[in-house]
Structure formats: structure tokens, C-alpha cells
């Protein structure tokens, strides 16, 4: 790809896993299967949650929003990645890169905040069961969801234009399998130290506050579970929280590794595999 095209912003090259062609074939099959399962799984959750009146509860309300995020997030990344894995063409248009960056950043922040809202919902359901529907009315659920989406995409609408308009030195190769802030910023031929500090501060904010709410919520839930005398009651409480805790661990560990680990200690190969999570 010539420098004229790259500097004019026509397209980029997603390096991905091209240095391991044998692995690319395996990843193509793996990602295709996971992509289809993700579409079917999240699509089913959204459809059933809307159609079944018994599931019109705060828990399934937030679960539907999380499913929408997963559905959109995987659709934003996977088709382009499958195209790049299936042949020698690793290019992505400038517009496609902007869309990926805008959506992945916006959805990522929204998910962080929504996971905290979901943890609060689980706290109320387990620790205040008799007042659950009083403390979690539909108006509050919608307000919490709207705040999550607003914070996510207002952040993305600010940082995406800044990242994509950084001066580049003719190098169109993004050492990743999709357009994400850190690898795109590596193409800049200006000092981005201050901007990286801003991103780390922003990442800290959207990690510390939601994660603090999650930890406080689950501390109360754990304390409440210790007072449950029946094993069945404890299993029900664990069942409603186990999957949420799994998503929290995967999401936050990935974000911490990619956005808050000093770049000198990051391995490009490991970063790409972590991002696959």
C-alpha cells in the first residue's frame, strides 16, 4: 500500500495475525463459529426478554442492553476480521476504521457502566428482595441505561475524531485485527504523550467508579449470602450473580491490560489474543 493512499486517509492495513498464516485458518473457523453463536445467543435473549411478559424485570432489562452491546460489538469487528483472515487482503477503509473505533470505544465504556448498574440491581434483588420493584422501578432502569449509553458514546464522540486526525507518517499498518485506540495511535508521527495520559486518566475513571460500585454491591451480596441458611437459597443467589461476575472479570481484566498497562511492557501478540476475549 503506497504512502499516498495512507496519508490521504483512504485505507489502512490490519496486520492481525498475518505473521502466522497457519493460525489464521484456525482462527477463521473458531471466530466464525463464535460469531454465529454470539448472534444467535444474544438475539435469542433480546427476543425472549421482549416477548415473555414474565421477563419484563429489571434484571432482564439490563441483560437485554448488555446483549445489544455484545450483538453490535461482535458485528462491528467479526465480519471484517473474517474477510481479512480468509485471504491476502488485510485492508480496511478509513470510514470502516472510524466506525470500528467509534463503536468499540462507545460500546466498551457503555458496558463498563452497565455492568455496574447490573451489579446494583443484583444487590437490591438479593439484599432487599421485599422492596425490589419499589427500589428498581422502570423509570429508574431507563434512566440508568440512558446514562450508560450517554457516557459511552459522548466519550467515544470526543476521542474518535482526535485519534483519527492525528498526523500519520505514511505508515498504514495497524498492528491489530481491528481499529482500536492504542494501535491506531502508534501510527502518529507526533508526540502523543499527553493524549495517552488523558486516555489513561479516562480509563481509570471508567474503571475505578464502576468497579468500586460492583465490589461494594458484591460485598453486600456476600454478606447477605452468609446469612442464608439453606443451600438452595445460596445456589439461587450464586446462579444470578455467577455469569455477571464472569463477564466483569473478563471485561475489566482486558481493559486494564490493554489501556492501563505501560506500553513498554505490552507484547503485541499477547495484546491481540487478550483482545479476542
Tens of pLDDT, residue by residue over 70-80, are: 999 999 999 99
pLDDT at 7: 40
Least confident span in 118-122, 125-129, 153-157, 238-242: 238-242
pLDDT at 241: 76
The answer, yes or no, to whether residue 262 has pLDDT greater than 80, is no
Round to whole Å and give the CA distance between 118 and 66: 9
* Helix, strand, or coil (residue 22): helix
According to DSSP, the residues that pair with 11 across neighbouring strands are 93
- Greater confidence (270 vs 181) lies with 181
pLDDT at 126: 85
What strands lie across the sheet with 11-14, from one edge to the other?
91-93, 11-14, 173-174
> How much of the chain, in percent, has pLDDT values that exceed 70?
88
Mean of per-residue pLDDT scores for the chain: 85
Q: How confident is the model at residue 146 (pLDDT cuts 50, 70, 90)?
A: very high
In this prediction, residues 46-57 reach a mean pLDDT of 92
Superfamily of domain 24-276: Rhodopsin 7-helix transmembrane proteins (1.20.1070.10)
Q: How confident is the model at residue 6 (pLDDT cuts 50, 70, 90)?
A: very low
Model pTM score: 0.84
Round to whole Å and give the CA distance between 70 and 111: 9
- Looking up cell 483519527 gives 164
Contact 63, 75 (CB under 8 A): no
134 exposure class (CB count in 10 Å sphere: 0-12, 13-18, 19+): exposed
Amino acid at each position: 500500500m503506497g504512502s499516498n493512499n495512507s496519508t490521504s486517509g483512504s485505507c489502512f492495513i490490519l496486520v492481525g495475525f498475518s505473521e502466522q498464516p497457519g493460525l489464521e485458518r484456525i482462527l477463521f473457523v473458531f471466530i466464525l463459529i463464535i460469531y454465529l453463536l454470539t448472534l444467535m445467543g444474544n438475539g435469542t435473549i433480546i427476543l425472549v426478554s421482549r416477548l415473555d411478559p414474565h421477563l419484563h424485570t429489571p434484571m432482564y432489562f439490563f441483560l437485554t442492553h448488555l446483549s445489544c452491546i455484545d450483538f453490535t460489538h461482535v458485528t462491528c469487528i467479526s465480519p471484517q476480521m473474517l474477510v481479512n483472515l480468509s485471504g491476502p487482503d488485510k485492508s480496511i477503509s478509513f470510514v470502516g476504521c472510524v466506525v470500528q473505533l467509534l463503536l468499540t470505544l462507545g460500546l466498551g465504556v457503555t458496558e463498563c457502566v452497565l455492568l455496574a448498574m447490573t451489579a446494583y440491581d443484583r444487590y437490591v434483588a438479593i439484599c432487599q428482595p421485599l422492596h425490589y420493584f419499589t427500589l428498581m422501578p422502570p423509570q429508574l432502569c431507563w434512566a440508568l441505561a440512558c446514562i450508560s449509553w450517554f457516557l459511552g458514546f459522548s466519550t467515544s464522540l470526543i476521542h474518535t475524531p482526535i485519534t483519527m486526525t492525528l498526523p500519520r507518517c505514511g505508515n498504514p499498518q495497524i498492528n491489530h485485527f481491528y481499529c482500536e485506540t492504542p494501535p491506531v495511535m502508534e501510527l502518529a508521527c507526533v508526540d502523543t504523550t499527553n493524549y495517552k495520559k488523558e486516555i489513561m486518566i479516562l480509563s481509570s475513571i471508567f474503571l475505578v467508579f464502576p468497579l468500586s460500585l460492583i465490589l461494594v454491591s458484591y460485598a453486600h451480596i456476600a454478606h447477605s449470602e452468609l446469612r442464608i441458611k439453606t443451600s438452595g437459597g445460596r445456589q439461587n443467589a450464586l446462579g444470578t450473580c455467577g455469569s455477571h461476575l464472569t463477564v466483569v472479570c473478563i471485561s475489566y481484566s482486558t481493559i486494564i491490560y490493554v489501556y492501563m498497562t505501560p506500553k513498554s511492557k505490552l507484547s503485541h501478540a499477547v495484546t491481540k489474543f487478550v483482545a479476542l476475549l
